[in-house]
Structures are given as structure tokens and as C-alpha cells.
């Protein structure tokens, strides 16, 4: 059952995640320009409805159809979903798009299989175009008369259930299921399959949604990490906590705290407690976000707050962190340091996440020397993805763009990525600054370009003078990451352990290649 839910969640995530930018754009337009927004503008606010009713469902359907049958499936998904949207205009058809996009893609895929090798030469384009047109029309009609009304009925039931939960102040209890689901990597099915559609519907009606606050609040994980930082008996775990806190709270990478919970599953009580209390607070004060907070950093979480609720939303994260911390402290203090192991928990988490993605877990290689892929060069190497040749001390790169391009060039040279991954890293910097703090940045590509990664690899650059990474921040340690699976988690753990303060980073940038390698080998 867990595997099926994870597989379903992966599929939903694959449709929604590439379009998160569109959801954020819609959320910002809503927060700024509706009548109760920060900058009310009647003309600009007219974009809100079309964005939600047409643009976002069509984008999701396009991606869903493409995942099943490539470009032809994508076009089929769009055609069919327009029928769904028009068939039930009273509801936002995000869920309808999630169903119809892949279904229409599957239909054209079956047609293509049936006629493969049977089309006479010269008629291929005619058959290809008319097959999409005719089958797309039929699917649109099906969507109009069947799928749209059925999805409308389902949404009516879900909205009724939500009303019951909200009216009886029971919505916070959802966190009892969500917090364990996060650690088990089952959250995508819940978040993208239920919370995103319901949140969009609620934003259309109220200008904000509490559903966007359930899974993205960084407070619960923050409380657990703080408890380990201050009270863990294990020095390795305690020393790793400050860096992990930066990655989690500021970077929005919630996976960094999962190993801390897996070391002692009783800490689920802390994350659940923090989330439940914060949700009660959110419910009492009628808080909500204008769009999804992605990634789940404190900046994104507070940045998507509805007008007049910024401080209140920030306090929601503080409450979650405080309650989680109070519950976690005695659990951490009573833990036996001989039985808790951050390294083992990290390995367990990597295995669980690989399973959630349908990947096979492979033990790391044990060779002392490994040839660089597609290269005749070889390098001393132990159990990891970092080669000594990919450590550049005091780089000559003067700008962020130069540093990212250098990392991309090294990735390509060693066969870790295609050249397109360099573009993906540059694109990531445009939408999200990868500077973590303490002079450390971790450039990596946008999620939808992950297919351009051929093998997992890490590149480390140091700069004594520092490279301007935007917003007045200078990066002295730049760790480029390209990860097929979860190998990057070890790198993040090493950053958390060894880069807890500017003084720690200063020590690293003054090391030789062997010293840097010993720190970041994975």
C-alpha cells in the first residue's frame, strides 16, 4: 500500500512541481491586486480568475499528458481538459486536469501503438494531426459531459468535509497524518492531490488559504533541530545541527531534518505537536497564504502571507518551533547516545526516499580509484561523489554567473551532466538564491531539469575574497551539486556539520585540496 501511495504521489508531484512557478505567480497577483490585497488594482485583478480557471489547469494537464505520451500526449491533455473546465465552471479544475491530462495522454499512446507500422508512407503527418484532433475532440466531449460533472461532485463532497473540519475546529488534526507522511515521503500525494486544489479554490473565494500552511510550515522541524543542537549527548549530531538549521529554515529543504527524527521516532510527537498547535492558532485567527510556499523556507512561508497577516504568519512558524522544541527536549535528553546515529539515520532516510521514487538502493562502491566518467583521468576517491580534481581552491571566478558556469563545465567534463544542467543552475539562481549563510552557497539545477543529470557529482570552489551571491551576500565556499538520487544529502550533512559559523568556513577555505576533500567526501 505504501509503495502505491508513493508512486501515486510521485506522479502527482511530476505534474504539479514543474508548474509551481505559475502557482506562485498567481498567488502574488492575488495577494497584490485583489480588492483586499496590498496594492488593489481592479484592472490587474482581472488576471486572477483566468489564471486559476484556465492557465494553471491547462499547464498541469499539459505536463500530465506529456509524462504519459510525450508531446502528443501533452496536446491531447490540453484539449481534453478544456472540456472538463467548461463542463463544470463552478469549480477550479486542478483535480480534473490531474485526471484528464494523463488519461488523454494514455488514449493517444494506445492509438499510436495500434497504428505503429501500419500507416502508408506520405500519410504519417495527416494521420498524426487528425488522430490528435479527432481523439482530442472526443475526449473534450467526454470531459464536458462526464469528467467535469463527476469531478465537480467530488469537489463538492471534499469542500463539505472541509467545512465540517473548519467549523468544528478539527482541521489542525490533519497534521497527525501529515507529519509522519513527510518523513515517510508520502506527503506528495496529500499535498499535491488534495491541499493544492482545495487551497486554490479557497484562495479564489477568500484571497488566502490555510491549506497552504499545513505542510510547508518550517517551525516543527526547526524545533527538533534546535533540541539536538542544545541537548544532544552525541557530539557529531550536536555539531551538525546549526548548519542543518540554516539549510532547513532558510533554504527550505525540509529533508535535512528527517534523519534527526528517524534517529528517534518518538520525535514525531514533537513535529505533530508543533504543527497541530500552529494550525489551531492559524484557524483561530483565520490565517492563510495567498499561494504555495515553495520551497518551504521561512522567507517563502512569510512572503506568501495575505495582506495584513505577515507578522501573524511569522508567529505561526514561531509557535510551531516553540512547541516542537519543548516536546523534543526531554526526548533528546533521554536518548541513549550509543543507539542514536545520525549517519545511520541518514542512510535509512536515503533508502526510504529512493524507494519512494521507485529507485533501487545500491550500496556505494569501495574502489580506491575511480575513472572520471567519459574521461581518461583518474583520482583518489572513497565512497563518494567528490573527486579531488573537482576541488578548485581560490577560484578565479569573479561573479556568481562565472562560478556557476565553471561548476557546470566541470560537471560536463566528468560526464556528470549535460550542458543543459548549467542552464538549469543559472535558472535556479534567478528564481531562488542558493546562498545559505555563513559564506556558503550550494548551486544546483531547477527540479524539472533533473533529467539532465547523468551521474551524481559534487564540485567545490573556494574564494578568499568572496563572490557576490546577491542581496549583499558573499560566498567563500561554493558547493555545486548534481544528484541522481539522494547522494547530495551526505554533502548537506557535511555542510551542516562543518559550516556552522563564518569562522568554520574561514578554516575550510584555508585548507589544501586533501583537507577539503576529507570534509566533503560523501
DSSP letter for each residue of 371-397: EPTTSS-EEE--SSSEEEEEEETT---
Q: Show the cell assigned to 252.
A: 527550505
Q: Residues 372, 488, 498, 499: which is the catalytic one?
A: 372
- Name the helix (H) or strand (E) containing 464: strand 457-468
| Whether 444 is catalytic | yes
Q: Residues 248, 444, 488, 498: which is the catalytic one?
A: 444
* DSSP-derived secondary structure letter, 46: G
Residue 402, Cα to own-chain centre: how many angstroms?
Answer: 26
Q: What angle do CA 38, 40, 46 make, to 5 degrees?
A: 125
Q: How far is CA 262 from CA 168, 234, 350, in A?
A: 33, 15, 11
Report how far residue 51's alpha carbon sits from residue 31's, in angstroms, rounded to the nearest whole number.
Answer: 14
| Whether 254 is catalytic | no
β-strand 435-437 against 369-371: which pairing, if any? unpaired
Nearest residue to 193 (alpha-carbon basis) of 353, 371, 13, 40: 13
Nearest residue to 512 (alpha-carbon basis) of 466, 460, 467: 460
- Name the helix (H) or strand (E) containing 341: none
**Sign of the four-CA dihedral 139, 140, 142, 146:** positive
Where does residue 154 rank: exposed (0-12), middle (13-18), buried (19+ CB within 10 A)?
Answer: middle
User: Which residues have C-beta within 8 Å of that of residue 488, sequence separation ≥ 6?
Assistant: 444, 456, 458, 481
Report how far residue 165's alpha carbon sits from residue 162's, in angstroms, rounded to the nearest whole number.
Answer: 5
Q: Which residue numbers are catalytic?
A: 372, 444
Amino acid at each position: 500500500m505504501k509503495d502505491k501511495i508513493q508512486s501515486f504521489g510521485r506522479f502527482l508531484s511530476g505534474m504539479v512541481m514543474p508548474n509551481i512557478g505559475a502557482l506562485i505567480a498567481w498567488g502574488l497577483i492575488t495577494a497584490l491586486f485583489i480588492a483586499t490585497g496590498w496594492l488593489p488594482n481592479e484592472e490587474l485583478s482581472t488576471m486572477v480568475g483566468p489564471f486559476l480557471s484556465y492557465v494553471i489547469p491547462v499547464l498541469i494537464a499539459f505536463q500530465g499528458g506529456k509524462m504519459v505520451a510525450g508531446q502528443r500526449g501533452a496536446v491531447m491533455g490540453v484539449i481534453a481538459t478544456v472540456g472538463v473546465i467548461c463542463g463544470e465552471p463552478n469549480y477550479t479544475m486542478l483535480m480534473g486536469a490531474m485526471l484528464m491530462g494523463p488519461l488523454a495522454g494514455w488514449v493517444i499512446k494506445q492509438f499510436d501503438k495500434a497504428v505503429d507500422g501500419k500507416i502508408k508512407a506520405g500519410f504519417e503527418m495527416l494521420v498524426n494531426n487528425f488522430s490528435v484532433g479527432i481523439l482530442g475532440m472526443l475526449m473534450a466531449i467526454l470531459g464536458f459531459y462526464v469528467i467535469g460533472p463527476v469531478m465537480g461532485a467530488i469537489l463538492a463532497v471534499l469542500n463539505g468535509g472541509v467545512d465540517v473540519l473548519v467549523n468544528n475546529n478539527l482541521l489542525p488534526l490533519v497534521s497527525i497524518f501529515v507529519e509522519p507522511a513527510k518523513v515517510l515521503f508520502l506527503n506528495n500525494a496529500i499535498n499535491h492531490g488534495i491541499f493544492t486544489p482545495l487551497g486554490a479554490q479557497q484562495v479564489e473565494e477568500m484571497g488566502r488559504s490555510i491549506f497552504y500552511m499545513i505542510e510547508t510550515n518550517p517551525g516543527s522541524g526547526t524545533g527538533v533541530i534546535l533540541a539536538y543542537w542544545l541537548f544532544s549527548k552525541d557530539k557529531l549530531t550536536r555539531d551538525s545541527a546549526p548548519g542543518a538549521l540554516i539549510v532547513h529554515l532558510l533554504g527550505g529543504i525540509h529533508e535535512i531534518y528527517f534523519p534527526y527524527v528517524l534517529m528517534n521516532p518518538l520525535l514525531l510527537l514533537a513535529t505533530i505537536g508543533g504543527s497541530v498547535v500552529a494550525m489551531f492558532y492559524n484557524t483561530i485567527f483565520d490565517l492563510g497564504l495567498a499561494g504555495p510556499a515553495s520551497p518551504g523556507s521561512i522567507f517563502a512561508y512569510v512572503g506568501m502571507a495575505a495582506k495584513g497577516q505577515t507578522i501573524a504568519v511569522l508567529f505561526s512558524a514561531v509557535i510551531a518551533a516553540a512547541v516542537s522544541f519543548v516536546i523534543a527536549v526531554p526526548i533528546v535528553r533521554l536518548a541513549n547516545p550509543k543507539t542514536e546515529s545520525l549517519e545511520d539515520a541518514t542512510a535509512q532516510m536515503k533508502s526510504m526516499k529512493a524507494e519512494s521514487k521507485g529507485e533501487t538502493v545500491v550500496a556505494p562502491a569501495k574502489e580506491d580509484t575511480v575513472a572520471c566518467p567519459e574521461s581518461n583521468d583518474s583520482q583518489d576517491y572513497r565512497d563518494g561523489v567528490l573527486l579531488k580534481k573537482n576541488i578548485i581552491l581560490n577560484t578565479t571566478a569573479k561573479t556568481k554567473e562565472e562560478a556557476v558556469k565553471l561548476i557546470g563545465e566541470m560537471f560536463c567534463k566528468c560526464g556528470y551532466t549535460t550542458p543543459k544542467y548549467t542552464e538549469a543552475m543559472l535558472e535556479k539562481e534567478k528564481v531562488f538564491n542558493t546562498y545559505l549563510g555563513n559564506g556558503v552557497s550550494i548551486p544546483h539545477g531547477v527540479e524539472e531539469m533533473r533529467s539532465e543529470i547523468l551521474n551524481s557529482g559534487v564540485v567545490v570552489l573556494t574564494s578568499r575574497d568572496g563572490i557576490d551571491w546577491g542581496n549583499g551576500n558573499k560566498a567563500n565556499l561554493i558547493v555545486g551539486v548534481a544528484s541522481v538520487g539522494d547522494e547530495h544529502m551526505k554533502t548537506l550533512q557535511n555542510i551542516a556539520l562543518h559550516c556552522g559559523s563564518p569562522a568554520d568556513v574561514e578554516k575550510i577555505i584555508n585548507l589544501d585540496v586533501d583537507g577539503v576533500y576529507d570534509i566533503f567526501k560523501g
